[in-house]
């Protein structure tokens, strides 16, 4: 609800990063992502809105899709780099921008402690107290920020993290590092085969949820998050009358990348 394209957690993750860019008089945001990256759209739109130029360095071969169309409409220049070169992001930044004093490096997904700080502010805006708070995790930065916010305010709310990718141990370590090892529940059974992998069960869940609530969710993040919560409810995981908060992290354009998977 924060903004249609600088969606959900991406606004919060970019807030302090963009303030830092302004402070250092940088005028050109340079960031990284896959061809369906919500972070690229958010950065492109934020750049346009707050008076920066922007470049997105995209993983893989030159393609066109709805995500990249939106990025270009927001004025972002796109550079495609093969998967091997894409790994070394600071090298790529040097290669393309070493002569450009106005360029500002933003890591893939806007990860790091500034991004986590922005996300922690979500806790200050909650209208109520909840027993459980659930959040989907890609890099885990958003979850780490929220968890820090819970601890800063000494809330009794229990944090639950649903990784959307397989083999998410590195993700747990990342959250531990950003929160000094604060406690959270880690639900690793809801990745549906890995990042951006899906199944008929997940797509059917999304159809049912969306048509019965009017709330759009996506197959990559929030669909898996809500599937997890409903599954845990069906297994009596929660005490009766528990108050559960699901953080909708945005990213609903993700549905466009899977249009052909839906059958009606």
Ligand X SMILES: *Cc1c(COP(=O)(O)O)cnc(C)c1O
Residues in the chain: 264
In terms of phi and psi (left: phi > 0; alpha: psi -120 to 50; beta: otherwise), the region of 154 is left
Measured from the CB atom, is 143 or 228 closer to ligand X? 143
* Residues near ligand X, by CB under 6 A: 8-9, 38-39, 109, 136-143, 221-222, 249-251
Beta strand residue intervals within the chain, DSSP E = 28-33, 53-59, 77-81, 103-105, 132-137, 158-163, 185-186, 244-246
What CA–CA distance (Å, rounded) separates 98 from 113? 25
Measured from the CB atom, is 15 or 39 closer to ligand X? 39
Q: How far is the CB of 161 from ligand X (least distance, A)?
A: 9
What CA–CA distance (Å, rounded) separates 212 from 218? 15
Q: How far is the CB of 251 from ligand X (least distance, A)?
A: 3
Q: How far is the CB of 215 from ligand X (least distance, A)?
A: 13
Measured from the CB atom, is 102 or 176 closer to ligand X? 176
- In this structure, are residues 32 and 59 in contact, taking their beta carbons and an 8 Å threshold? yes
What residue is closest to ligand X based on CB?
251
Measured from the CB atom, is 138 or 149 closer to ligand X? 138
Q: How far is the CB of 252 from ligand X (least distance, A)?
A: 8
């Amino acid at each position: 609800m924060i903004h249609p394209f600088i969606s959900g957690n991406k606004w919060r993750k970019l807030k302090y990063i963009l303030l830092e860019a302004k402070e250092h008089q940088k005028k050109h945001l340079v960031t990284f992502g896959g061809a369906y990256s919500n972070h690229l759209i958010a950065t492109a739109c934020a750049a346009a809105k707050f008076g920066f130029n922007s470049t997105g360095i995209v993983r893989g071969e030159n393609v066109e899709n709805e995500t990249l169309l939106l990025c270009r409409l927001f004025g972002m220049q796109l550079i495609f780099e093969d998967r091997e070169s894409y790994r070394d992001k600071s090298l790529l930044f040097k290669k393309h921008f070493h002569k450009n004093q106005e360029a500002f490096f933003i890591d893939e997904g806007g990860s790091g402690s500034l991004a986590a700080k922005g996300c922690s502010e979500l806790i200050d805006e909650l209208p109520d107290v909840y027993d459980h708070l659930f959040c989907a995790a890609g890099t885990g930065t958003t979850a780490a920020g929220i968890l820090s916010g819970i601890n800063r305010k000494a809330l009794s709310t229990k944090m639950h993290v649903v990784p959307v990718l397989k083999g998410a141990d590195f993700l747990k370590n990342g959250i531990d590092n950003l929160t000094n090892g604060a406690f959270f529940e880690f639900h690793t059974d809801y990745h549906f085969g890995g990042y951006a992998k899906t199944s008929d069960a997940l797509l059917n869940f999304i159809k049912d949820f969306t048509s019965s609530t009017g709330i759009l969710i996506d197959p990559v993040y929030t669909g898996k998050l809500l599937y997890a919560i409903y599954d845990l409810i069906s297994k009596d995981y929660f005490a009766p009358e528990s108050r559960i908060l699901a953080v909708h992290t945005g990213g609903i354009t993700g549905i466009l990348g899977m249009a052909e998977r839906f059958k009606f």
